[in-house]
Amino acid sequence: MHDMIFRIRLAGMGLAALLATAPVAMAETVQLKADLKGSSAAAKGDAAVTYDTASKQVTWRITYSGLSGPPTAAHFHGPAQPGANAGVAVAIPNPATAPVQGSAMLTEAQAADLLGGRYYINIHTAANPGGEVRGQVTK
């Protein structure tokens, strides 16, 4: 009987040791960026973008300068390869004053596009309703 209890305890300790050394799926915070450029040399900006894989939340801090006027809208567009156009994927609220900061929850598909470099940030103005500055979001 004592031999059986000893073996059960030994097996339990072995299992505990195995589980303690097993790889654990951990959340990751991914840092991304975008260099915003426009047709005018004066118009420029940059974005620091962070994605949390556990919460599926993207956060951003965008600065800009030299625009023809105050921004009327700003968005993440995608999916699109660099230089290609796409529809709005995630709205960026309140872009009128830099720095623009915010966050949003992403779907699995949106997260895959963001992390795959298939999103760009576009800031629109009255003079340039299609976008005055734009930059691809990359790691």
- The stretches in the chain having pLDDT less than 50 are 4, 6, 10-12, 14-24
Neighbours of 108 (CB within 10 A): 8
Looking from the CA of 121 toward its CB, the CA atoms found within 13 Å total: 29
Q: So what's the pLDDT on residue 19?
A: 43
Q: From edge to edge, which strands make up the β-sheet containing 100-105?
A: 88-91, 71-77, 120-125, 133-136, 29-38, 44-52, 57-65, 100-105
Retrieve residue 46's tokens: 């940059």
| Predicted local confidence at residue 41, as pLDDT | 83
What is the pLDDT, as a whole number, of residue 98?
Answer: 93
pLDDT score at 18: 42
Q: What is the pLDDT of residue 87?
A: 97
C-alpha to C-alpha distance for 65 and 44, rounded to whole angstroms: 6
Question: Could you give the residue ranges of the DSSP H alpha helices within the chain?
Answer: 2-21, 108-115
